[in-house]
Amino acid sequence: MDTLELKDKQTKKSVKTEELSGSQILLKGLIAEGVDTIFGYPGGAIMPIYDALYDFKKELNHILVRHEQGATHAAQGYARSSGKVGVVFATSGPGATNLITGIADAQIDSTPMVCITGQVFASLLGTDAFQETDVINITTPITKWNYQVTDASELPEVLAKAFYIAKSGRPGPVLIDITKNAQIQKVEVEPYQKCDHIRSYRPKPIIRQDYIEKAAALINSAKKPFVLFGQGILLGNAEQEFKAFVEKAGIPSAWTILGAGAIATDHPLNVGMLGMHGNYGPNVLTNDCDVLIAIGMRFDDRVTGRLDKYAKQAKVIHLDIDPAEIDKNVKAEVPVWGDCKETLPLLTALVEEKTHDEWLARFRDYTQKEIDQVIDAECNPTSGELTMGEVINQLNILTNGDAIIVTDVGQHQMVACRYAKFNHTRSNITSGGLGTMGFALPAAIGAKFGAQDKTVVAVIGDGGFQMTIQELGTIMQSGIDVKIIILNNQFLGMVRQWQELFNDRRYSFVDITSPDFVAVAKGYYIEGQKVSERENLVKALKTMLNHKGSYLLEVMVTKENNVFPMVPQGCSVSEIRLK
């Protein structure tokens, strides 16, 4: 490969350039961005990139998934466990359209991801060529930014922009569609330069000190302040700043499912989970606090219930990096724009050191009521069939709350989020906003690649597991160590629960028949076992955790058990039901 030396006429400095194909430019750029793992699936329109990848095997670890949707979820799991940008490769047409669900999931959950899709030759665009699909227009509503490259000389700048946009400000997915001619074309390029600024793009809003002061004054005068915290704390790497704030102000704090792990589950100021299946106290007392401080969360409908009955008595302080989220659902008395890693220390400096013992005691009273009426029976049953809660409880005991828990979507997700212990940041990985069944298995694979020193446990329902069951092949080929627990209630459990409670037990197409999951796993050379008796549960969990390599544990749980507490749809959070 020729290296030419050109004289920059303006700076008079020597600038080295080299002639590279578009595919080589892409791969060298990924390495410069710190990428070490790619999840993908080859095809005709992206073949030049895969051909070039053959020479970069030492620098870039490519994981061959079994379906492109699996690649996006794996990249999400990788990003969520590592804090880095997840990277996906796919070909044009069906390869690109198979990414859509994962991209949409990453967009609503603010997960940084860069998807690279191959495209037909530029000369064929718009001709309905073989495997041509307009992926740019398809993904425009579900990406933070997308761009189609038709000339290789564009690639260095476009790729640098893509990574900067994906990970800066409120993170999200970016897609680059590269025509086949641009992948093959050779051009002379200068050394890759990362992007740190784009004109007209401001990832962080300007912090207004007067709003910080107003927020601090409200907090200092509050008798019953309450903090709601979300994933924004994790995305901003602001866990220590958040802990310092709540400990100084002495404020009870509750979390959204994506915010779990920002502060340890057992922290004395952590009062539990918000939302439809959250804890009793945080939901009821939302409508009793006098100052509500929302940090890095977006007031999703599953958290607020009926908006016209949500926290109407409270003055709301909303800290968020995305100005579009403030006043979108809940009107804020004081908006605090900015990165919470920067705004929280400013706020902490101004709040008074306090304790709110009587107020905190009310949360504990509600917690005890929930333990007596719901939690104890769910997590410590002495008779009857196994419950999902006791499986999670025993898993807690055996892992000391140190494992990364990756959940799918459904009853098992709510149970796991409610009862799992999250002692470390980035230890709860789930599909929040989109609620994507099939998320957990590929996401757990990616999470393990992103945090190989951690035990990664995927908790999945029998329905969701069958949506991406083929990714057992990815585990087999890559040799990654993922522990899989299938909580099998022989139903599409969450839908069945709603049909029981709100449709007079008219169980319409929620009975689901499953294969022998253990036998299927063994077909992929993954060991496993099935458990249905209480006396065998702990031993089976120990076997799974101690096994070298991936392991599948199917646990048969009671069929018609419901997840409570529950805020019925259309109700206020204070109307939460314990049974």
**Which DSSP string do the residues of 489-558 spell out, in sequence order?**
-SB-HHHHHHHHHHSTT---S-B-----HHHHHHHTT-EEEEE-SHHHHHHHHHHHHHSSS-EEEEEE--
Catalytic site residue 494?
A: yes
68 counts as catalytic: yes
Please say whether the beta carbons of 72 and 99 come within 8 A.
Answer: yes
Cα-based torsion angle of the residue sequence 411, 415, 418, 422 in order, rounded to the nearest 10 degrees: -120
Phi (first) and psi of residue 386, to 5 degrees: -60, 150
Query: Cα 149 from chain centroid?
Result: 29
Tokens matching residue 553: 């544990």
Q: Are 11 and 138 in contact (CB under 8 A)?
A: no
What strands, in cross-sheet order, belong to the sheet with 404-407?
428-430, 404-407, 456-461, 483-488, 551-556, 527-531
As to burial, measured by CB atoms within 10 angstroms (0-12 exposed, 13-18 middle, 19+ buried), residue 3 is exposed
**How much is the pLDDT for 2?**
43
Candidate list 18, 47, 56, 131, residue with the active-site label: 131
The per-residue pLDDT for 579 is 86
Can you spell out the DSSP letters for 195-213?
---BTTB-SSPPP-HHHHH
Residue 463 and residue 439 in contact, taking contact as beta carbons nearer than 8 Å: no
- pLDDT of the residue at 8: 45
Cβ-based burial of 562 (10 A; exposed 0-12, middle 13-18, buried ≥19): middle
Spot the catalytic one: 273, 297, 437, 494.
494
Render each residue's pLDDT in the chain as its tens digit; 579 residues. 444 444 444 444 567 889 999 999 999 999 999 999 999 999 999 999 999 999 999 999 999 999 999 999 999 999 999 999 999 999 999 999 999 999 999 999 999 999 999 999 999 999 999 999 999 999 999 999 999 999 999 999 999 999 999 999 999 999 999 999 999 999 999 999 999 999 989 999 999 999 999 999 999 999 999 999 999 999 999 999 999 999 999 999 999 999 999 999 999 999 999 999 999 999 999 999 999 999 999 999 999 999 999 999 999 999 999 999 999 999 999 999 999 999 999 999 999 999 999 999 999 999 999 999 999 999 999 999 999 999 999 999 999 999 999 999 999 999 999 999 999 999 999 999 999 999 999 999 999 999 999 999 999 999 999 999 999 999 999 999 999 999 999 999 899 998 999 999 999 999 999 999 999 999 999 999 999 999 999 999 999 999 999 999 999 999 999 999 999 988 999 999 998
Rounded (to 5) percent helix, strand, coil in the chain? 40, 20, 40
Active site residue 132: no
Choosing from 24, 28, 68, 226, the catalytic residue is 68
* Selected catalytic residue, list 16, 19, 130, 452: 130
Determine the Cα–Cα distance for residues 404 and 401; give it in Å rounded to an integer: 8
Q: Is 335 helix (H, G, I), strand (E, B) or coil?
A: strand
Q: What is the DSSP code string of 64-106?
A: E-SSHHHHHHHHHHHHHHHSS-EEEEE-STHHHHTTHHHHHHH
Specify the pairing of strand 253-255 against strand 173-179. unpaired
**Is residue 162 within 8 Å of 149, Cβ to Cβ?**
no
pTM above 0.85, yes or no: yes
Catalytic residue among 28, 144, 161, 180: 180
CB 300 within 8 A of CB 230: no
- For 275, the token pair is 């939302």
One-letter amino acid at 398 equals L
Rg of the chain taking only CA atoms, in angstroms: 25
CB atoms within 10 A of CB 387: 22
- Distance CA(26)–CA(31), nearest Å, equals 9
How far is Cα of residue 453 from the mean position of the Cα atoms in its chain?
A: 19
User: What does 421-488 look like in DSSP terms, one character per residue?
Assistant: ---STT-EEE--SS--TT-HHHHHHHHHHH-TTS-EEEEEEHHHHTTSGGGHHHHHHH----EEEEEE
Is 180 one of the annotated active-site residues of the chain? yes
Cα 14 to Cα 5: distance, rounded to the nearest angstrom: 7
Residue 215 pLDDT = 98
Asked if residues 78 and 449 have their Cβ atoms less than 8 Å apart, the reply is: yes
Distance CA(425)–CA(401), nearest Å, equals: 11
Axis crossing angle, helix 440-450 with helix 68-82, rounded to the nearest 10: 40
Which one, of 34, 13, 5, lies nearest residue 188 by Cα? 5
**Closest residue by Cα to residue 71 from 181, 184, 173, 194:** 173
Q: What is the pLDDT of residue 526?
A: 98
Give the residues across from 62 on adjacent strands: 38
Which among 432, 438, 445, 491 has a CA at the least distance from the CA of 467? 438
- Active site includes 33? no
Structural domains of the chain, ranges and CATH numbers in brackets: 3-189 (3.40.50.970), 209-362 (3.40.50.1220), 385-557 (3.40.50.970)
Could you identify the residue written with the tokens 């990139």?
Answer: 49
Which pLDDT score is estimated for 139?
98
Q: Are 424 and 477 in contact (CB under 8 A)?
A: no
Which helix (DSSP H) or strand (DSSP E) does residue 372 occupy? none
